Structure 1
Amino acid sequence: MKIARVQGYRNRQALIKISFIIIVFFFIYRAFSITDIIANDLSLKLKASNNSEFTIIEKSIRGNILDRNNNLLAINLIHKKINLDPMILQDEYIDLLAEALNIPTDEFREKIRQKRENKRKYYIVKEKLRVNDPILSNIAELKSKRVDICLKEFKLPSNNLADKVKLLVGLKLEAKEKIEDENCTRQSIAGVAIESSGFRYYPKKDSVAALIGKTNINNIGVFGIESEYDQYLAGFDGNKRLADNKNGSNIYYDPELIKKFKEGADLNLTIDSDIQFHVYNAIKEQAEFHEADSAAAIVLSPNGEILALTNYPSTDPNNHQNYSADDYRNRVFSDKTEPGSTMKPFTMLLALDKGVITATEDELIDVTTRVGNILPDKKYTEMTIQRILEKSHNLGTVMVAENIENEEFYNTWKMLGFGSSLGLMPGTENPGVLRHYSNWGSADKRSLSFGHGPMNTNLAQLARAYLVFANEGAIPSLKLFKDNSTPDNLEQVFSPESTKRIAEILDSVASDNGSGYRAVIDGYSVAGKTGTAEMVIDGEYSKDGAKRTYFIGFSPAENPKYIMAVRLDYPKKCFVSWDPTMRNRCEGSNSASMAFQKAMKRILINDPDIKSKFEG
Structure 2
Amino acid sequence: MIRWPFGKRTSGKPAAGQRGGARQSRSGLTRKPDAPTASFGMRLATVAVLVGVGAGVLIWKASTLQFVESEFLRGQGDERFTRVASIVAHRGSVSDRSGEPLAVSTPVDSVWVNPKELTLANEQIPNLARALNRDPDELARFVTTKLDRKFLYVARHLQPADAAKVRALDIPGVHLTREYRRYYPAAEVTGHVIGFTDVDDAGQEGLELAFDHWLAGENGAKRVIQDNLGRTVQTVESIKPMRAGRNMQLSIDMRIQYLAYRELKAAMQLHRARAGSVVVIDVTTGEVLAMVNQPTFNPNDRAQLKPAGYKNRAVTDLVEPGSTIKPFVVAAALASGKFRTDSIIDTNPGMVKVGIKMIEDKHNLGAIDLTTALAKSSNVAMTRIALTLGAETLHDTLSKVGFGRVTTSGYPGESAGLLTQYAHWRPITTATVSYGYGLSATPLQLA
Same fold (TM over 0.5): yes
Kindly indicate whether residue 261 of structure 2 is the aligned counterpart of residue 287 of structure 1.
no
Structure-2 residue corresponding to 1:336: 318
- 1:262-316 Cα offsets, whole Å, 9 max, x none, are 2222211111111100001101110111111111111111212111111111122
Preserved CA contact (<8 Å) 1:56 1:240: yes
Give the 3-state SS of the residue equivalent to 2:106 in structure 1.
Answer: strand
Matches within 5 A, 1:295-444: 295-301=276-282, 302-360=284-342, 364-366=346-348, 367-372=350-355, 373-376=357-360, 379-380=363-364, 381-444=366-429
Preserved CA contact (<8 Å) 1:224 1:428: no
Give the 3-state SS of the residue equivalent to 1:352 in structure 2.
Answer: helix
Instruction: Say if 1:399 and 1:199 are closer, same or farther in 2 by CA, change over 3 A.
Output: same
Shift of 1:58: 1.7
Paired AA for residue 323 in structure 1: L
Structure-1 residue corresponding to 2:78: 49
Q: Distance in 2 between matches of 1:443 and 1:298?
A: 31
Kindly indicate whether residue 220 of structure 2 is the aligned counterpart of residue 238 of structure 1.
yes
Preserved CA contact (<8 Å) 1:240 1:257: yes
Q: Distance in 2 between matches of 1:257 and 1:81?
A: 23
Instruction: Say if 1:88 and 1:266 are closer, same or farther in 2 by CA, change over 3 A.
Output: same
Paired AA for residue 218 in structure 1: D
Give the 3-state SS of the residue equivalent to 1:433 in structure 2.
Answer: coil
- 1:88-141 Cα offsets, whole Å, 9 max, x none, are 5999xxxxxx9xx9xxxxxxxxx99x84898699998x9646x8xxx99xx99x
Give the 3-state SS of the residue equivalent to 1:314 in structure 2.
Answer: coil
Q: Distance in 1 between matches of 2:351 and 2:319?
A: 30
- 1:170-229 Cα offsets, whole Å, 9 max, x none, are xxxxxxxxxxxxxxxxxxx86799977643221112111111111222222211111212
Q: Distance in 2 between matches of 1:118 and 1:392?
A: 68
User: Of the candidates 267, 272, 275, which is equivalent to residue 248 of structure 2?
Assistant: 267
- 1:415-474 Cα offsets, whole Å, 9 max, x none, are 112222222224231122332222323232222222222x322221221xxxxxxxxxxx
Give the 3-state SS of the residue equivalent to 1:297 in structure 2.
Answer: strand
Preserved CA contact (<8 Å) 1:351 1:357: yes
Unaligned runs of 5+ in 1: 5-12, 92-97, 102-110, 144-188, 245-251, 464-616
Give the 3-state SS of the residue equivalent to 1:242 in structure 2.
Answer: strand
Give the 3-state SS of the residue equivalent to 1:343 in structure 2.
Answer: helix
Instruction: Say if 1:293 and 1:254 are closer, same or farther in 2 by CA, change over 3 A.
Output: closer
Larger radius of gyration: 2
Q: Distance in 2 between matches of 1:329 and 1:290?
A: 21
Preserved CA contact (<8 Å) 1:241 1:258: yes
Equivalences, count: 376
Preserved CA contact (<8 Å) 1:374 1:395: no
Kindly indicate whether residue 307 of structure 2 is the aligned counterpart of residue 278 of structure 1.
no
Preserved CA contact (<8 Å) 1:86 1:115: no
Structure-1 residue corresponding to 2:97: 68
Paired AA for residue 56 in structure 1: A
Q: Distance in 2 between matches of 1:338 and 1:278?
A: 26
Q: Distance in 1 between matches of 2:437 and 2:326?
A: 11
Q: Distance in 2 between matches of 1:209 and 1:427?
A: 14
Preserved CA contact (<8 Å) 1:55 1:241: yes
Shift of 1:365: 4.3
Q: Distance in 2 between matches of 1:419 and 1:333?
A: 13
Normalising by structure 1, we get a TM-score of: 0.52
Matches within 5 A, 1:580-595: none
Unaligned runs of 5+ in 2: 1-29, 36-43, 113-120, 144-152, 227-232
Paired AA for residue 202 in structure 1: Y
User: Of the candidates 44, 48, 59, which is equivalent to residue 88 of structure 2?
Assistant: 59
Preserved CA contact (<8 Å) 1:89 1:190: no
- 1:500-537 Cα offsets, whole Å, 9 max, x none, are xxxxxxxxxxxxxxxxxxxxxxxxxxxxxxxxxxxxxx
Preserved CA contact (<8 Å) 1:221 1:227: yes
Q: Distance in 2 between matches of 1:371 and 1:359?
A: 25
Structure-2 residue corresponding to 1:456: 440
Give the 3-state SS of the residue equivalent to 1:217 in structure 2.
Answer: coil
Give the 3-state SS of the residue equivalent to 2:334 in structure 1.
Answer: helix
Query: Which has a greater percent of helix?
Result: 2
Kindly indicate whether residue 229 of structure 2 is the aligned counterpart of residue 212 of structure 1.
no
* Deviation larger for 407-416 or 277-286: 407-416
Paired AA for residue 371 in structure 1: V
Preserved CA contact (<8 Å) 1:239 1:259: yes
Instruction: Say if 1:442 and 1:285 are closer, same or farther in 2 by CA, change over 3 A.
Output: same
Normalising by structure 2, we get a TM-score of: 0.69
Instruction: Say if 1:51 and 1:194 are closer, same or farther in 2 by CA, change over 3 A.
Output: closer
Shift of 1:410: 2.4
Identity value in percent: 25
Instruction: Say if 1:36 and 1:371 are closer, same or farther in 2 by CA, change over 3 A.
Output: farther
Structure-1 residue corresponding to 2:63: 32
Shift of 1:48: 2.8
Q: Distance in 2 between matches of 1:74 and 1:378?
A: 49
Paired AA for residue 276 in structure 2: A
